[in-house]
Structures are given as C-alpha cells and as structure tokens.
C-alpha cells in the first residue's frame, strides 16, 4: 500500500511536468528574449510554498549567470520592494493567481518600472491578466490523496525554474569556466581556478649535490613533503630529487656504513618531474597520476619555487 501511494505520487508529478512541457511556447520565448536584453535583474517572488520555490529558482539563476534576487511578497509591501528598480523583470509564482499579497504588490512593481511574468496555475487569473508574460503552470491535480497539499504544482514550478535557468545559461554561452567562477569553493571551481602556486609554499626543500646522507634525512623531515630536491653546489640548478622511496631502496641495495659515505647526488633520481607554478593544481594532480609520483618540484619559469605534494591537492577537495 505504501509503495503504491509513493509510486502514484511520483507518477502524478512526472505527468504534470510533461504536460507543462507541452505548453512551453511563444510566451516563454518572449520572456527569455526580454531577460537576455534587460538592463536590470530578475526579481523572483511568491507567498507560502511558492515563496520557497521562488527562493530556490533565484539561487539557480544566480549560479548560472543571470542576476536574480528573491523577494518575499509580504515583506516587499513593508519596505523590501526598495530592491526593485526600473528595468527589472519580476517572476511571480502563484498557484491560484489570486494571492492577495501578490495582487497588492503588482501596482507597486509597475510603479517602480518592473515588467511582470506571471508563473501561475490559472492563466485567466487576476495576476495573469496584469502581466506582460503568462507562463501556464497549471496541474490537473495535486499529488495528494485529498488534492490539497501543494505537491505537483510546486514540482512543476520548480522544474520550470530549472528550464528557464538552463535556457538562459545556454543562450549566454555560460560554460564550465563561468560556472567555476560562480562556485569558487566547489570541486569544479577549485579544479578550474586553483593554481599550483596557490597551494605551494615559496620554499623548496633542497640539499646541495654533495650533501651527506644525514643532511638529506634532516631536510626530508623538516620539509614535510617526503622528498628533497638536489641542487648543484654552485648554483640553484636542479640535478635530481630524493624521496622516501629512494632512501628505502638505497638501504636495500647498500650496507648502512657504505650508504653513509655517499653524497646526495649518488642516490638521487635524476630528471625529477616538475610543474610550473602557474599551472592548474588539477593539472599537477594529473601529472602525479601519470608518472605515479607523490610530489612534484614546482618551477617559476626556470627557477625552483617549491614542492607540491599529492596531499596538498587532495586536501582542497580536488579529485
């Protein structure tokens, strides 16, 4: 019984969305064209459940390149309408199209120079008759056994908001790099914006080529990167890298007394893998995966800059 009801709810809401999709037409095209040309922003408003939907739609629009603000219809009548300016377009969400607070807000929006799109469940309602554009979001019934609780109607309104946002995103040619710019703290944003320099201390753990093993071990410990670069003794020219793994392999190959007679360059891996400081951190991660290494020496042009470790990148949520 419970499963049957849940399926009925989902099917009812899905069918309501499909019917709404069939009604998308000239009014929607005209609204999109107006938004793309508007000098202002979108004001998204409603009351009750419609207010919650409006708030989410405003957030989605902002995230994909269309400036939008959420305005509670009741609070608007007590001062918040000051955010509305000439050139704005108001998206008004109302199932009945007769919501008293929204009807009272209409002349105020007009007076402030905003145009109005009625996203309503009744295209013949008062709000619809006073709008510049009408979007028919009517549903045959709610996905509620008593046909009372806003369910199918709010789902259709939310889906319409997504359809509008994605249409505007496509029309503005809003791509992954633009999305990253509006989501700098997200995984995609970090992948596309964070550079190696942002995650690297401007200090390269290093030893001269003729450094004894004891100094190598000390610098590996102090550097906390699991490795040190090996530089020419007379100039900061990169000669190699010594990792924890190089030390272990040397211990397996040589006796301890013999090992302590060697210099850094004797046990270093030549031609270490490098990355430029201005490259994307995600590119550094790809290089580590390609070469199966845990750290890269960071160069600023030809000059040694620092060292970046696998964990430095993963810690930022970049995968």
The structural domains of the chain, ordered by start, are 2-174 (3.40.50.10490), 196-314 (3.10.580.10)
pLDDT of residue 127: 96
Distance between CA 74 and CA 269 in Å, rounded? 70
Q: Are 99 and 126 in contact (CB under 8 A)?
A: no
- CB atoms under 10 Å from CB of 48, counted, come to 16
Start-to-end CA distance of the chain, whole Å, equals 43
pTM over 0.85, yes/no: no
- The model's confidence at residue 314, banded by pLDDT at 50, 70 and 90, is confident
Distance between CA 226 and CA 263 in Å, rounded? 18
Look-up of token digits 């969305």: 17
- The model's confidence at residue 235, banded by pLDDT at 50, 70 and 90, is low
Does the pLDDT value for residue 182 go beyond 90?
Answer: no
- CB atoms under 10 Å from CB of 80, counted, come to 15
Q: What is the DSSP letter of 268?
A: P
79: which 2 tokens? Answer: 């001062």
- The model's confidence at residue 55, banded by pLDDT at 50, 70 and 90, is very high
Range in 58-67, 129-138, 247-256 with the lowest mean pLDDT: 247-256
pLDDT of residue 123: 95
253: which 2 tokens? Answer: 């190959």
Range in 35-44, 130-139, 157-166, 259-268 with the lowest mean pLDDT: 259-268
- The model's confidence at residue 192, banded by pLDDT at 50, 70 and 90, is low
- CB atoms under 10 Å from CB of 280, counted, come to 18
Q: In this prediction, what percent of the chain has a pLDDT beyond 90?
A: 71
């Amino acid at each position: 019984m419970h499963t049957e009801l849940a399926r009925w709810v989902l099917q009812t809401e899905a069918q309501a969305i499909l019917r709404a999709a069939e009604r998308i037409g000239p009014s929607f095209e005209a609204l999109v064209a107006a938004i793309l040309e508007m000098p202002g922003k979108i004001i998204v408003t409603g009351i009750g459940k419609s207010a919650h939907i409006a708030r989410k739609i405003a957030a989605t629009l902002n995230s994909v390149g269309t400036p939008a603000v959420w305005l509670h219809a009741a609070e608007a009548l007590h001062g918040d309408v000051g955010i509305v300016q000439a050139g704005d377009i108001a998206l008004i969400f109302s199932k009945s199209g007769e919501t008293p607070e929204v009807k009272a807000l209409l002349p105020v929006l007009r007076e402030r120079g905003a145009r109005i799109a009625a996203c309503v469940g009744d295209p013949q309602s008062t709000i619809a008759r006073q709008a510049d554009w009408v979007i028919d979001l009517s549903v045959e019934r709610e996905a509620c056994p008593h046909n009372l609780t806003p369910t199918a109607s709010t789902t259709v309104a939310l889906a319409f908001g997504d359809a509008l946002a994605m249409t505007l995103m496509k029309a503005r040619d809003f791509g992954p790099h633009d999305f990253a710019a509006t989501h700098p703290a997200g995984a995609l944003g970090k992948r596309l914006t964070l550079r190696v320099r942002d995650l690297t201390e401007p200090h390269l753990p290093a030893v001269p080529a003729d450094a004894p093993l004891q100094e190598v071990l000390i610098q590996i410990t102090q550097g906390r990167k699991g490795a040190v670069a090996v530089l020419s003794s007379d100039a900061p020219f990169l000669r190699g890298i010594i990792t924890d793994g190089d030390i272990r392999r040397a211990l397996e190959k040589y006796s301890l007394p013999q090992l302590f007679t060697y210099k850094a360059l004797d046990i270093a891996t030549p031609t270490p893998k490098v990355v430029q400081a201005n490259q994307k951190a995600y590119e550094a991660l790809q290089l580590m995966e390609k070469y199966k290494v845990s750290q890269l020496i960071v160069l600023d042009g030809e000059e040694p800059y620092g060292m970046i470790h696998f964990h430095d990148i993963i810690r930022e949520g970049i995968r």
